[in-house]
Amino acid sequence: MEDFKIEPAERIKRLPPYLFGRLNALKHSKRQQQIDIIDLGMGNPLDPTPQVIVDKLCEAARDQRNQRYSVSKGVFNLRREMALKYKRKWDVELDPNSEIIACVGSKEGFSHMCLAMLGPGDTAIVADPAFPIHIYAVALAGANVVTVPLGNTEQSLKDMIHVCEKLYPRPKVMILNFPHNPTAMTVDDIGYFETVVDFAKKMHIAVIHDFAYGETCFDGYKAPSFMSAKGAKDVGVEFTTMSKPYNMAGFRIGFAVGNKTMIDALGTVKGYYDYGIFQAIQIASIVAMRECDKDIEEQNLKYQSRRDVICDGLNQIGWQVEKPRGSMFVWARVPEEQSKGKGSIDFAMDLMEYANVSIAPGRAFGENGEHYMRIALVENENRLRQAVRNIKRFVQKG
Ligand SMILES: Cc1ncc(COP(=O)(O)O)c(C=O)c1O
């Protein structure tokens, strides 16, 4: 037995050490000591799912017909409801049979789309900082990742185009995400995506747009869907989720829509890997899409007020934070005199230790995230005010 050693696959070794590990361990130990940590670390909505969705879930769960395996790509009525929603919200026509697939949350769908589209020798291009799965799903598929800095949306697109033109072999997939996690950056209008479509066609690059925060917008801003750009279906797909707009993160349901070949390839992978989402969740999601537009508006108003509390509060202590018009995050650069040269991970550890506030260090999202912190707007306004007071006390004490 002495020589026997279990060796996980090489692909596991392509993943870096988990950057939230130290932070999570400290949070756990603080909580064990009954210390109240204000947790703004993760974009995990704390507000309840609208009651009508929960009621439908319970009712459908009791029906024996929903207790079997469902269909991997989602039942037809669910895909049809998604097509109606895209028509209503973004004026996009989609065929429920060939252009829409349901996923076990958009993260699962995105990961398997990478597996369906990329393999050893292929490259995907993505902006840094990034939502981690945008990098690691590519790595897990055995492909390479090339990054460009996300300083601002226009420049990063120019950089992506420049890199794609110069790199050989050319990247096969371009990954975009607006409103963006973690930076909360947004694009002004559909012109941005029209440029992407033209370029993708010219260079034969497939596009994956993560639109998880497409409905989480403030101040009257309406995020454009990549699918509304003329020709988008020829070059790519867009992912949406039920997690954020409807506070259904635990339900695990999202969608990919768009290019038939890509949807079909994802369907093939999923057909082997899963038997579909619990049908009661699919039925509850149909009700959500039919009946909960108003709930989304109310939720967005909450995020907007919380955003103002955090941005105004942090600006008062010298952080120079811009108010985002989308996503559920504030992305803030820590002034050097306050971080005292510490990297964002150590600064986040200090905030947890001495201010009892948990926020995500920008470095966890890539090199270009260093010196920034990502604050999730998941707690209520009073708790956010308390968080700002705690941070203020910590940074002013030095
Ligand atoms: C940009 C982005 N995409 C996808 C997801 C995952 O969403 P889902 O719950 O649908 O898997 C998140 C969750 O935080 C996200 O921020």
Question: What pLDDT is attached to residue 352?
Answer: 95
Tell which residue, 97, 30, 77, 72, has the closest CA to residue 273: 72
d(Cα 194, Cα 212) in Å, to the nearest integer? 20
d(Cα 215, Cα 299) in Å, to the nearest integer? 10
Ligand 1 atom at minimum distance from 213 CA? 1
Question: What pLDDT is attached to residue 398?
Answer: 66
Q: How far is CA 94 from CA 72, 74, 83, 88, 295, in A?
A: 19, 15, 5, 11, 25
Please tell me if the domain spanning 10-48+295-397 has the same topology as the one spanning 51-292. Answer: no
d(Cα 309, Cα 240) in Å, to the nearest integer? 28
Question: What pLDDT is attached to residue 283?
Answer: 98
Mutate which of 213, 241, 303, 329 for ligand 1 pocket (most atoms within 8 A of beta carbon) = 241
Regarding the beta carbon of 129 and ligand 1, being less than 6 Å apart is answered no
Atom 6, ligand 1: residue with shortest CA distance: 107
Mutate which of 82, 107, 251 for ligand 1 pocket (most atoms within 8 A of beta carbon) = 107
Flag whether the pTM goes above 0.95: yes
Regarding the beta carbon of 106 and ligand 1, being less than 6 Å apart is answered yes
276: left (phi over 0), alpha (psi -120 to 50) or beta: left
- Domain extents in the chain: 10-48+295-397, 51-292
Question: What pLDDT is attached to residue 226?
Answer: 98
Tell me the residue type at 74.
G
Question: What pLDDT is attached to residue 170?
Answer: 94
Query: How far apart are the CA of 211 and the centre of ligand 1, in A?
Result: 9
The secondary element (H helix, E strand) that includes residue 391 is helix 381-397
Segments in the chain below pLDDT 50: none
d(Cα 83, Cα 91) in Å, to the nearest integer? 10
Q: What is the DSSP string of 302-328?
A: HHHHHHHHHHHHHHHTT---PPPSBSS
Question: What pLDDT is attached to residue 1?
Answer: 66
**51-292 maps to which CATH number?**
3.40.640.10
Q: Where are the beta strands (DSSP E) in 107-210?
A: 123-128, 144-149, 173-176, 206-210
Q: Which residue has the tokens 């259904």?
A: 248
Instruction: Given CATH 3.90.1150.10, say whether it is the number of domain 10-48+295-397.
Output: yes
Question: What pLDDT is attached to residue 18?
Answer: 77
Strands 372-376 and 357-361: antiparallel
